[in-house]
Each structure stands twice: as C-alpha cells, then as structure tokens.
Structure 1
C-alpha cells in the first residue's frame, strides 16, 4: 500500500508542543483511513484568529490505536471513528509560501 499524505489543521495548543518535541501523538477522527507510514502535514491553526498561522510541520505516522487496532489494555477505550496516531516529526517550516515543506538533510 502506498503511503498517503494528509494535510490537516492543528490548533496552536497542540501544534506547538509537537514541533517542540513535547508531544508525539494526535487524537483524530479517523475520517481519512489513516495508516502507519502515512505522512501528515500539520498546519498550525489559530482558532482565536480564525486563520492559519503559516507554520507547518511534516510527520510520519509510526503507530496507530483505534477500535480496529486496539491497545493491549482494552478494545473499548476509544470511541468508534477516532484514532490515536503516534507521530515523528520529519520536517518543519515557518512559512510554506507555496514552496512545500523543507526537509532536513538527514531525512
């Protein structure tokens, strides 16, 4: 299966800890059939301003928990239609500016 790229909105209170390395997961509605290996382009969104900030990062899905892929503790711990994506940031940019996400040389 080919890995897909998903451009998704990420509120500032979640986005900033992700790029700072303090958060490594996303709780999402699984309306895109996310899979391990998929690429997320997280675009920072400021809900108070009602607009995107211009900051973005790219992350790869490294693990996934859902009702179809339960954790070891319980298959009832997550509502149907939602998933927890473990992610690893692979690239960051302050302003996409139509140029796409800059990748660090090590990726």
Structure 2
C-alpha cells in the first residue's frame, strides 16, 4: 500500500515540542485512515491570530495504536524523515 500525505494544522506549543524532540506522537481523530508510513506535514497554526505562521515540518508515522483512546481517535508515533 502506498503511503499518503496529510496536511495538518498544529498549535504552536505542540509544534515546538515536536521540533525540540520532546513530543514524539500525535493524537488525532482517525478520519483520514492514517497508516504506518504516511507523511504528516505539520503546519503551525496560531489559534489566537487564526492564521498559519509559515513554520512547517514533515514527519513519518512509525506506529499507530488506539489503546485507551476516545472512540475514533488514535495515537501515532512520529519520526523525522
């Protein structure tokens, strides 16, 4: 199966934690049928200004689980490409 590319909004505090290597996962509603190997393009979005900041990172989904999550949500382990 070919990996998919996903454009995602992410708030600044979470984006920064990913950039610094502190946050190595994303919790999302599985409304896009995410799969291991998919590319996530994380686009920093400032909710107070209601606009994108221009900062962007690409990560790859390395593992997925729905253990102990709300219905339809998953945890995706992510790594830098």
Residue 79 (structure 2) aligns with: 88
Aligned pair count? Answer: 81
Q: TM-score, normalised by structure 2?
A: 0.95
Runs of 4+ with deviation above 2 angstroms: none
Q: Which has the higher contact order (CA 8 A, sep 6+)?
A: 2
CA offset digits 1:19-62 (Å, max 9, x no partner): 11111000101100000000000000011111000000000000
The TM-score normalised by the length of structure 1 is 0.73
Q: Any gaps of 5 or more consecutive residues in structure 1?
A: 71-76, 91-107
| 1:14 Cα deviation after fit | 0.6
Alignment of 1:57-76 (within 5 A): 57-66=57-66, 70=67
Question: Is the strand fraction higher in 1 or 2?
Answer: 2
Q: Write out per-residue CA displacement over residues 66-97 of structure 1, whole angstroms, 9 at most, x where no aligned residue.
A: 1xxx4xxxxxx11111000100122xxxxxxx
| Larger Rg, first or second structure (1 or 2) | 1
Unaligned runs of 5+ in 2: none
